[in-house]
Structure 1
């Protein structure tokens, strides 16, 4: 039988849990069969998968992630200031596209990556500064009740401003766990830094990658799990760290 005392104890337990730090670990570049993909799927680490659309295994991996209870995002390829368009894969968002074509490509990406809850940018230092194109992307995101994560490829990104204007939930990446040359030890150290951020600020968002060094990324994250447990830091889907309208207006949201 539930008593008032039990309710109080449960409420206190939930409050303690809520006060523990939380981190979201987004792993970019899913969609192919590169290093680290198998390891992440075979593990129990509750990562958020950012899947590049239109690759050989994009749809299959989105379905598998969903079946395993993992959150899925679209890792949308956007044109950078430097680099080759070929690095972006099929149907990227580039500055020469008109607004209608931008929206069409975002819609196609959503169709290709089922169960996605949000979008983050693959590269894109040029596009995230382009208000016209980012507005088009965010308008489609809003229609699908998506969130957006700014991967932090440009300090002049218009994503925060536009997302606020359009009322699209968003956040900006706090830390990169790896790069093309990262060792297992480097990723482990980055995980400890991420944990410290969560302790200091309550939450933090990190991005890692599968690929050439993907096994190092997996191993470094896996090595750090005991440290996170010791510090009572939970790994959660990135959507759990985003502010919603209910949180902004808890007393009046139901009236709107």
Structure 2
């Protein structure tokens, strides 16, 4: 009888652990964030998103005619707001950056001043991501100046992922600033079919990682982007993936210190 008991107990213990692990995986909440860039600039899709019922995060270009209006509109309707900071790319027209971009010829003092002004021009911003910037994000001095101001203002950073050589993750970690990186671009091809395809990709990333971040745009691609996203919601409901403001993906890293900027 003793031999049977000794054999049985480990088997029962193993069975309990497997069931507990399975139950934990099944009950884990899956969350994805959809950041929509270029508010303050383009008009296509603006009303669709800001009067819609999907909790997108509105990334607003600073220093534009509509920066404050779009930020206030988003906040009034319960949408999270970020600064969409224009940064110098390796390729592209300078005009795409808008006023007062962050360029590599600026001193650290000039960079900090522009970042402070950008944050001031976008009311209710709780975070920052980069507009373009494939050249500037690889410059350690430029990025350090940006991250220091972000820390000063108690914001978080979403790295838009425009360059594999970005210095944002390294410097944000060093300075203790919360940072996450974009997983999927939704409208790199301007068609609602492609947006739906990319939304499925976001869903798969979220199922693997437990969370995911996609970036789309208002403006030229705004209408097809909004249509594709809205058409994808049933699939996300089916997969039990919740769309949330991007700040909710930080898993407790954001305290009141970071969540409520001064």
Tell me whether the two structures share a fold, i.e. TM-score over 0.5.
yes
Counterparts of 2:27 and 2:157, CA distance in 1: 23
> 1:65 is matched with which residue?
74
> 1:143 is matched with which residue?
152
2:174 to 146, 155, 165: 165
1:120 to 108, 119, 129: 129
> 2:32 is matched with which residue?
23
Counterparts of 2:127 and 2:181, CA distance in 1: 13
- Residue 62 of structure 2 aligns to a residue whose secondary structure is coil
Max Rg structure: 2
- Residue 25 of structure 1 aligns to a residue whose secondary structure is strand
1:92 pairs with 2:89: no
Runs of 4+ residues over 2 Å off in structure 1: 15-18, 243-247
Task: Report the number of matched residues.
Answer: 232
Structure 2 residues without counterparts, runs of 5 or longer: 1-23, 256-262
Once the two structures are TM-superposed, the CA of residue 84 in structure 1 deviates from its matched residue by 2.4
1:224 to 218, 232, 251: 232
1:203 to 180, 203, 211: 211
Counterparts of 2:50 and 2:25, CA distance in 1: 30
The answer as to whether partners of 2:51 and 2:77 remain within 8 angstroms in 1 is no
The answer as to whether partners of 1:25 and 1:208 remain within 8 angstroms in 2 is yes
1:174 to 183, 187, 211: 183
The answer as to whether partners of 1:33 and 1:57 remain within 8 angstroms in 2 is no
Change in Cα spacing, 1:197 to 1:98, as seen in structure 2 (3 Å) is same
> 1:12 is matched with which residue?
none
> 2:57 is matched with which residue?
48
- Residue 171 of structure 1 aligns to a residue whose secondary structure is strand
**RMSD over aligned Cα, in angstroms?**
1.7
- Residue 151 of structure 2 aligns to a residue whose secondary structure is helix
Normalised by the size of structure 1, how large is the TM-score? 0.87
- Residue 232 of structure 2 aligns to a residue whose secondary structure is helix
1:237 pairs with 2:245: yes
Q: Answer with 101-110 or 235-244: which moved more.
A: 235-244
Normalised by the size of structure 2, how large is the TM-score? 0.85
Change in Cα spacing, 1:209 to 1:17, as seen in structure 2 (3 Å) is farther
